[in-house]
Chains A and B, each alone.
Chain A
Amino acid sequence: MKRAAAWSILLVGMIYFILPLVGMVEFSLSMKRGIYSFEAYRVVFADPQFRQTFSYSVMMAVLTILFGVLLVVPTAFWVRLKLPGLRPYVEFVTLLPLVIPAIVVVFGYIRLYNTSSWLPMTGSVTGTNLLLLFGYSMLSLPYMYRAIDTGLRTIDVATLTEAAQSLGAGWFTILAKIIMPNVLVAVLSGAFVTFAIVMGEFTLAALLDRPAFGPYLQLMGANKAYEPFALSTIAFIITWACMGLIQLVTRLTKHDKAAR
């Protein structure tokens, strides 16, 4: 009886989550009257604006991940190793992006870095791209920091560092050869979440007027019927592919087998 109830709850839950997805995919395949086809996807892929915005966002996502990793891994490592008393404060700072809306941040950026300011970053494409990169890094900071900090918690950072130091290793070697490989799965988790955030982000990109995928999605949603559903399906597949990659990397990392 209990087992039947559990299965029923699971089934209801699955229907609740899966049915809208099925509806979305079904609608995206219904562009041609009376038959299922990939016409909406063909139209989307044929749109040069899609290719442009998608590749721009992928590039920004990769750069954001690189910047985030370079910023967060040494910071989390140092806080854990040398400044454990500062951990609550650092955690608080990393959580701020969750409570400060992106629109506040972007208006702050525009006010501080506009063309008549002391650092006119919005005056050039590179400068604006840089601002967007910093904005994306800030938005992904809570997830990136949490993921890496959790990864660091699973290893004895202090002893491994001291062992490496006693063998002659400097800080760069310790970070690159010992710490990074041991928190790689955590870094990748943070990286894939960052990728998903950047691919769907609208506010920063739209208000900084950058040709990103988020504003393109919004534009299509406002003007077309079937294409936005095809795009949503594509975005959904990208997110799930990222999650699958996390699982794959975890499985392929030999030395992590003991922990599982």
Chain B
Amino acid sequence: MSYLTLSHLEKSFGPARVVKDFNLTVDQGEFISLLGPSGCGKTTVLRMVAGFELPTAGGITIEGRDVTRLKPNQRNIGMVFQAYALFPNLTVAQNVGFGLKVQGAPKASIKPRVAEMLSLIGLSDLGNRYPFQLSGGQQQRVALARALAPKPSVLLLDEPLSALDAKVRVSLRNEIRQIQRELGITTIFVTHDQEEALSMSDRVVVMHEGIADQVGTPFDIYNRPATRFVAGFVGTLNTLEAKVLDAAAGKVTLGGTEITLPAPLPAGPTVTLGLRPEAIRLSAATGPQLRATIKDVDFLGSVIRLRADLAGQPIAFDTFNTTRVAPPKVGETVALGLDTADLLVIGA
């Protein structure tokens, strides 16, 4: 049985349906990310789990207990907010111990637990400081410790890294993941940053217009996108129109080159194919070859990103920078190799 279940969850604000028939089961200790653009409903789902929003329909259970109608302070859920939300009038130690105090934990047990949490986040020496005396990264660590101190059944992270600078963001996301693994706490993480979602999660839920477009491992989401939206939203993807020659046999022409795909195609005169930039090779000796004219060369250091024209369709691809081979020049016609297994047939 799953640890956390969201079944047929719906939320409307007036006439606007923000979340539509949302279903998700989360196992104990799992790290799930809700990924999607602004306004897709991911934060609303999280807020319904936290109890800050009442679902219009559907239910939420934690360990088999229906919590749909419970107040936020009755759910034993820890939450970390984008804006840190540390209590300005309390010291770091008092912030971390707040949850334990309001839950009536004995004083003797609060102090060691606070010390344990501060040690976990590496801020043991800063217990007496006030939030305004900490950096953004330190404040968010304290917010994490505060949420974890009362041993919540589920940890909710609402874009906790968004307000931080890039370097701190990367180090803190690794830290969060490490702490989550160490404690084995079931976690739901909301983000619009695909890199964060893919690097941290056991599974990712890609949300679009209030529905879960795809639920899967980061590998599946990236390599086998289920919808056109997922394919376009996660990673960089070339979308190429190909003419269908024989749908049953998977035969198409792409940029004047005849290609046989490994699976049959849906009936129709054309099909949209997706191809990741890293799946394209320059001057490949094997497999089908596409001829394209280089339009732009971006030197990014270890990687060179090239943009080319493939029979009127733009295509981008990457190549590693090596000292021995100079990148192609603008206007040069190159042969591009690909593996037909990397071609994604993009659905609706």
Is the beta-carbon distance between B81 and A163 smaller than 8 angstroms? yes
Contact status of A160 and B87, CB under 8 A, knowing A168-B102, A168-B103, A168-B150: yes
- B150 & A178 in contact (Cβ 8 Å cutoff): no
A173 CB-CB contact with B under 8 Å? yes
0/1 per residue, A247-260, Cβ < 8 Å to B?
A: 00000001111110
CB distance B77 to A166 under 8 Å? yes
Tell yes or no: A14 within 8 A of B by CB.
Answer: no
A-B contacts, CB under 8 A, total: 83
Q: How far is the CA of A35 from the CA of B99 in the complex (A)?
A: 66
A47 touches B (CB below 8 Å): no
A163 and B89: CB pair below 8 A? no
Is the C-beta of B146 less than 8 angstroms from some C-beta in chain A?
Answer: yes
Any B CB within 8 A of the CB of A62? no
Closest to A257 in B: B132
Contact A166 B79 (CB under 8 A): yes
CB contact between A255 and one of B85, B89, B98 (< 8 Å): that residue: B89
- Contact indicator per residue, chain A 211-244, by CB within 8 Å of chain B (1) or not (0): 0000000000000000000000000000000000
- Bound state CA distance, A255 and B87, in angstroms? 10
A162, B50: Cβ atoms under 8 Å? yes
Known contacts A164-B98, A167-B98, A159 near B85 by CB under 8 Å? yes
CA–CA, A150 to B45, complex, Å?
32
B113–chain A nearest beta-carbon distance, Å: 13
How far does the alpha carbon of A166 sit from the alpha carbon of B49 in the complex, in Å? Answer: 11
B14 within 8 A of A: no
List residues of chain B with CB within 8 A of the CB of A43. none
Instruction: Tell me the residues in window 249-296 of chain B with beta carbons closer than 8 Å to chain A beta carbons.
Output: none
How many Å lie between the Cα of A90 and that of B146 in the bound state?
A: 36
A178 to B146 CA separation, bound complex (whole angstroms): 15
Check if A169 sits within 8 Å of B102, measured CB to CB.
yes
Asked if B52 is at the interface of the complex by the 8 Å CB criterion, the answer is: yes
Known: A168-B103, A169-B73, A257-B132. A162 touches B98 (CB 8 A): no
Kindly list chain A residues whose C-beta atoms are within 8 Å of the C-beta of B51: 165
Which chain A residue lies CB-closest to B133? A258
Asked if B88 CB lies within 8 Å of chain A CBs, one says yes
Give the residue name and chain of the A residue nearest to B88 (CB): A255
A166: nearest chain-B partner, CB-CB = B79
Across-interface contacts of A257 in B (CB, < 8 A): 130, 132
Give Cα A256 to B89, complex, Å: 8
Residues from chain A with a CB closer than 8 A to the CB of B78 are 166-167
Most chain B beta-carbon neighbours within 10 Å: one of A155, A156, A162? A162
Is A167 a contact of B81 with CB atoms below 8 Å?
A: no
Judged by a CB distance under 8 angstroms, whether A181 is at the interface is yes
CB distance from B99 to the nearest CB of A (A): 4
Among residues of A, the one whose C-beta sits closest to the C-beta of B99 is A167
Given A162-B72, A255-B132, A167-B150 contact (CB < 8 Å): yes
**Does A156 contact B83, Cβ atoms closer than 8 Å?**
yes
Q: Which of A165, A169, A178 contacts B89 (CB 8 A)?
A: A178
Closest-by-CB residue of B relative to A173 is: B102
CB distance from B138 to the nearest CB of A (A): 14
- The residues of A that contact B73 with a CB separation of less than 8 Å are 165-170
Q: How far is the CA of A254 from the CA of B133 in the complex (A)?
A: 11
Residues of chain A from 132 to 191 with CB closer than 8 A to chain B in the complex: 155-156, 159-160, 162-170, 173, 177-178, 181-182
Q: Whole-angstrom distance between the alpha carbons of A257 and B51 in the complex?
A: 34
Least distance between B50 CB and chain A CB atoms (Å): 6
Interfacial residues, chain A to chain B (CB-CB below 8 A): 155-156, 159-160, 162-170, 173, 177-178, 181-182, 254-259
A-B contact pairs, 21 of them (CB 8 A): A155-B88, A159-B81, A160-B87, A162-B50, A162-B85, A163-B85, A163-B143, A163-B146, A165-B71, A166-B75, A166-B78, A167-B73, A167-B102, A167-B103, A167-B146, A169-B73, A169-B102, A177-B87, A178-B89, A257-B130, A257-B132
